[in-house]
Amino acid sequence: MNLHTRTILGLILCLVFTVTCTTKEITWAPDMDVAAAAYKNNQPSSVTLLTMINNTTGTGGHSALIINSSERILFDPAGTFKHPQIPERHDVYFGINEQALERYIDFHARPTIHVVMQRVKIDPETALELSKTVKNYGPVQDMMCSYAISEILHSLKGFETISKSYFPKITMQNFSKIEGITTYRVYDYFEDDKPNIFLENQQPKK
């Protein structure tokens, strides 16, 4: 399969999958909101790739990144998540404490879709560089979530083997080859608006 054909197929998959990569209206939260929301935990510096997987077809529909650096932020390129208490600037969300992360995951997880979380520890300098890169990346176009993330990771020290891809599942598979990955799969078996899926339904895999 040549590159042109794979690109077309990737765009089609994003169109037909339930959790689509769609462009939001441009949002730029005020400085005071971003500063007030800033959240830092005591965990080591890390990056976590989130991939939304269709439980029936096994296809990937969306990609996002959690970056734990001087603060924990979420990069959700071309996503549709919104929350009035979680400020956003160009697809980057601030104040990603446990409750905010739970809300984000519950927004995506449902009986037809589960979320794969792949976390790897990185040194503080690399985490800070990654954080700055996503903040400066700008708003992401429709159906380009996986490409934006794979492009950013490919340019990062230690992640050069991750090739650029329009396919969220391929980016997930490439990310799994990084040494030291811990993988969790998050399921939600109920059609509701309650954030009831986070810790209790995580299933760690080595």
What are the structure tokens assigned to 10, written together? 């990737």
User: Could you tell me the pTM of the whole model?
Assistant: 0.84
The 10s digit of each residue's pLDDT in 67-91 is 999 999 999 999 999 999 999 999 9
| Domain range summary for the chain, segments of one domain joined by + | 3-205
Q: What is the pLDDT of residues 14-39, one digit of tens each?
A: 444 434 454 457 799 999 999 999 99
Q: Around Cβ 167, how many Cβ atoms within 10 Å?
A: 21
CA distance 45 to 178: 16
Q: What is the pLDDT of residues 157-198, one digit of tens each?
A: 999 999 999 999 999 999 999 999 999 999 998 876 555 543
- Shortest CA distance to 107 belongs to which of 150, 170, 147, 61? 61
